[in-house]
Amino acid sequence: MDTVLTDLARVLELRKQGDPETSYVARLYNKGLPAILKKIGEEATEVVLAGQSEGDDALVREVADLWFHTLVLLVHRGLGPQEVLAELERRSGVSGIEEKNSRGGR
């Protein structure tokens, strides 16, 4: 899976120099951080709605949209999927309560 995410991150990086008239991602980057964050919020809401009342296929599609737009944000910030995967690996085998407490209980 990390290969798919890494490949997608490379494409997103290239889209930063793309034409906003012909590339959806270039348009998001051109609009800046507020537009990217707004889109993530919209996608997160759609995941919640799909989780409540839609079938599995719809939920998977919405989660894919959320992951995609979150990756757009990471690339915008100069990050990629490897940082997130490393954090998940760090948490592997750690109790959720213990991990949350290590971050000050946020």
pLDDT per residue over 71-101, tens digit each? 999 999 999 999 999 999 988 887 767 656 6
For residues 27-51, average pLDDT: 97
pLDDT value for 100: 66
Query: What is the pTM assigned to this prediction?
Result: 0.84
Of the chain, the percentage scoring pLDDT greater than 70 comes to 87
Does residue 58 sit in helix, strand or coil?
Answer: helix
Q: For the chain, what is the mean pLDDT?
A: 91
Q: How far apart are CA 40 and CA 101, in angstroms?
A: 26
| Dihedral sign, Cα of residue 50, residue 92, residue 2, residue 11 | positive
Torsion angle, CA of 56/57/58/60, rounded to 10 degrees? 80
pLDDT value for 67: 97
